[in-house]
Amino acid sequence: MWLATTIGFYSVGAHRDKKGVYVVRARTRKDAENVGKMFDVPVEENKTADYRFRVHLNRKQIDTLLTSLVDGIDYSDFKSRVKKDPEQSKKLDLYHSIWSMLKEFQEKEARKY
């Protein structure tokens, strides 16, 4: 699952070898630290991995993370909110690109009906 949030961009998936463990992957150390600090867990770095920074969470922690992210939604427009944060606003052009590509996809799909 991809999560584009006001505290970072993440790819979340089940751990390959450990049942009940989830890997929260991030492209920047700061994004990974934002999650790691919430649970006092270390950030792992692997310079050769697709996502360089990772945090491992158990099921209760991942539930708490997702609930916290939803509870923190106090905005009506994600990109406008991201723009206000000096660290996260560095991703704004990327988010606009993703938005644009998905809008184009939506329009192509709508033509089928």
Query: Would you place residue 112 in the very low, low, confident or very high pLDDT band (cuts 50, 70, 90)?
Result: confident
Is residue 34 a contact partner of residue 7, using CB atoms and an 8 Å limit?
yes
pTM of the model: 0.91
1-74 maps to CATH 3.30.70: yes
Residues 50-70: tens digit of each pLDDT: 999 999 999 999 999 999 999
Residue range(s) in the chain whose domain bears CATH number 3.30.70: 1-74
What would the DSSP string read from start to end of 15-30?
-SSSTTEEEEEESSHH
Tens of pLDDT, residues 65-100: 999 999 999 999 999 999 999 999 999 999 999 999
Q: What are the tens digits of pLDDT across the range 31-44?
A: 999 999 999 999 99
Going by the DSSP 8-state scheme, the letter that residue 76 receives in this structure is S
